[in-house]
Amino acid sequence: MNYLTPDWPAPLNIKAFTTTRLGWGVRLASPQNPTQAETQQLVSLLNLPNQPNWLTQHHGITVVEAKPANLHAQADASFTLTPNQVCVVMTADCLPVLITNRQGNCVAAVHAGWRGLANGVIENTLALLNQQVNQPAEELLVWLGPAIGPAKFEVGKDVYEAFVSRHAEAMRAFAPQGNEKWLADLYALARLRLAAKGVTTVYGGDYCTYTQEDLFFFPTAAIVAPPAAWRVLYGWTKSNIAHKMKLMAT
């Protein structure tokens, strides 16, 4: 199995996938910068309308529009309203987040490692989408792709305080282990951040990339996409790492 299909009620013109194990059947020479041949293999596997708009990710909170001028831009999320434009994020055990709306006229792909999640990469993405489509948060649909699960993501005091100092309710997403160690639930932390912005229609969060090695080992990619003839978006996410990936295209 080369990819999974998210279980979420996205509009029929929106399609989404996340690649598994070795992604599209190759071990990337450089997960942050797939070669042209590797990219073409992914395009062929998923029947993408265009090549993905790769980002240079750095666990930050920068969000850019997916377009040729932003190819390899330093950012950890991308969005688009343009049909057939492919957005992509790469993840290891970090959390990939796909966003669309009930109208199916926008998509976004977010790489939410703990630093980006704590510092607001999801909030920044929601803000930019709101500027573009100007609609209530309850119209948004979110899918949380494969990430390290809450039973395996052990963190220290720095990570715990990075979240709890901003949102006291984040304490619920940390299970104390003693010696200033906690097990952190990235899925729960993302849901808290989304709910704080009024986004409650959230799906996914069912996988653990650490324990499910039969599914996730090296690069993966997640996708959401609409037919090219429709004024909608394709979305893609690469997630899997060793190096996971999530992509979104419109």
User: Count of alpha carbons within 13 Å of 249, Cβ hemisphere only?
Assistant: 29
Give 215 or 28, the one with higher predicted confidence.
215
pLDDT band, very low/low/confident/very high, at 23 (cuts 50, 70, 90): low
The stretch 142-151 carries a mean pLDDT of 94
State pLDDT tens for residues 34-49: 788 888 887 887 888 8
* Cβ–Cβ < 8 Å for 92, 28: no
How far does the chain reach from its first CA to its final CA, in angstroms? 24
- SS3 readout for the chain: CCEECCCCCCCCCCEEEEEEECECCCCCCCCCCCCHHHHHHHHHHHCCCCCEECEECCCCCCEEECCHHHCCEECCEEEECCCCCEEEEEECCCEEEEEEECCCCCEEEEEECHHHHHHCHHHHHHHHHHHHHCCCHHHEEEEECCCCCCCCCEECHHHHHHHHCCCHHHHHHEEEEECCEEEECHHHHHHHHHHHCCCCCEEECCCCCCCCCCCECCCCCEEEECCCCCCCCCEEEECCCCCEEEEEEC
**What per-residue confidence (pLDDT) applies to 45?**
79
Look up residue 87 and give its two tokens: 């957005």
Partner residues linked to 77 by β-bridges: 63, 110
Give the predicted TM-score (pTM) of the model: 0.87
Q: Reply yes or no on whether the pLDDT at 53 is more than 50.
A: yes
Listed as own residue / partner, the contacts of 177-181 with beta carbons closer than 8 Å and 24 or more positions apart are 180/156, 181/154, 181/155, 181/156
State pLDDT tens for residues 214-243: 777 654 555 444 333 222 234 543 333 333
Instruction: Enumerate domains of the chain plus CATH numbers.
Output: 3-249 (3.60.140.10)
State pLDDT tens for residues 79-110: 989 888 888 888 778 999 999 999 988 899 99
**What per-residue confidence (pLDDT) applies to 31?**
61
Partner residues linked to 154 by β-bridges: 183
